[in-house]
Amino acid sequence: MKRLLITGAAGNMGKAMRQRLGHLAETIRISDIAPLDDAAANEEPFACDLADSDAVLRMVEGCDGILHFGGVPSENTFASILDSNIRGLHNLYEAARKHSKPRILFASSNHTVGFYRQDQFIGVDQPTRPDGLYGASKCFGEGLAQMYFHKFGQETAIVRIGACWPRPTTVRMLSIWLSFDDMASLAERVFKAPYLGCPTIWGVSDNQPKWWDNSASAYLGWVPKDSSEIYRSELERNPGIPDRGSSQAKWQGGGFVDDPIYTEPPRALNR
């Protein structure tokens, strides 16, 4: 690729992907609403508020591929979610449609299905059960991506990310952890695939406990290499196995199912 756009490039996942995916394009256009003062040699910073359609249009121009990590990453006020994840996503797809439809990897979330229990093994074709406004905004995003695919041929990999962090930090995360390396290898496959279409993919490493069936996207040949199992004994001691009957123990969405409807931005949570 000539130019790959990474939105949300100042976030943890954005930074980790910039380190790992620089070889995918001659130039990596990095974008965020937060400052980006650490650009590498082949990186091209582009400050952008996703809610600003003109800015988004310019941001997408000239890009051959998009890693869309931007937007609100967790439960928040409806106003924030509306601006970033709904209005912002529409801006992105309109910009892509007007600029040659570069492939998009769209970071959706396991919180589209947070109200399935942990003993339910689900495929990507089962109905969504979002656990909050954040999850509902991702349902909109998935529908939007599907629509742009069927209507305009815009290809998107919808990746329902579990928890993409340096390492798992709770027992629940043993089931949903996605390592940075596995996220990176997935992105490679998405941009190299001869045919992508518009698959929904569970973004999760090769952990032993499994909630999600990824066979529908097996055609991509993505095989995650990391496993959370090496962290199990440590995490079972600290922070410990969650209480039986708690949301952390029972629901795929964990603590999100308990969230209130926020009227002001929540402080960061560890789930």
Residues annotated as catalytic are 134
- Residue 238 CA to residue 148 CA, distance in Å, equals 45
Find out whether 198 and 155 touch, Cβ atoms under 8 Å. Answer: yes
Find out whether 141 and 148 touch, Cβ atoms under 8 Å. Answer: no
Q: Is there binding between residue 172 and a copy of itself (CB under 8 A)?
A: yes
Find out whether 108 and 141 touch, Cβ atoms under 8 Å. Answer: yes
**Residues in 62-81 that interact with a copy of itself by CB under 8 A:** 78
Q: Which is nearer to a copy of itself, 125 or 264 (CB)?
A: 125
Q: Which is nearer to a copy of itself, 27 or 128 (CB)?
A: 128
Q: What is the DSSP string of 166-202?
A: SS--STTHHHHB--HHHHHHHHHHHHH-S---S-EEE
The region of 21-29, 54-62, 65-73, 212-220 touching a copy of itself under the rule CB under 8 A is 212-220
- Residue 199 CA to residue 130 CA, distance in Å, equals 19
- Residue 103 CA to residue 125 CA, distance in Å, equals 22
Residues whose CB falls within 8 Å of the CB of residue 197, separated by 6 or more in sequence, listed in order: 149, 155
Q: Which is nearer to a copy of itself, 38 or 236 (CB)?
A: 236
Q: Is there binding between residue 264 and a copy of itself (CB under 8 A)?
A: no
C-alpha distances in angstroms, 158 versus 44, 46, 174? 25, 24, 22
x/- map, 178-197, a copy of itself, by CB under 8 A: --------------x-xxxx
Q: Which is nearer to a copy of itself, 153 or 166 (CB)?
A: 153
- Residue 239 CA to residue 168 CA, distance in Å, equals 11
Q: Kindly compute the dihedral angle of the four CA atoms of residues 226, 222, 118, 133, in this order, to the nearest 10 degrees.
A: 110
Q: Which is nearer to a copy of itself, 11 or 162 (CB)?
A: 162
**Residues in 214-233 that interact with a copy of itself by CB under 8 A:** 215-223, 229
Q: Is there binding between residue 261 and a copy of itself (CB under 8 A)?
A: yes
**Residues in 146-165 that interact with a copy of itself by CB under 8 A:** 146-147, 150-151
- Residue 133 CA to residue 120 CA, distance in Å, equals 22
CB of 121 to a copy of itself, least distance (A): 5
Q: Is there binding between residue 60 and a copy of itself (CB under 8 A)?
A: no
Q: Is there binding between residue 7 and a copy of itself (CB under 8 A)?
A: no
Position among 11, 71, 102, 135 found at the interface with a copy of itself (CB under 8 A) = 135
**Residues in 78-107 that interact with a copy of itself by CB under 8 A:** 78, 82, 86-87, 90, 94, 97
The region of 32-40, 56-64, 66-74, 125-133 touching a copy of itself under the rule CB under 8 A is 125-133
- Residue 102 CA to residue 3 CA, distance in Å, equals 10
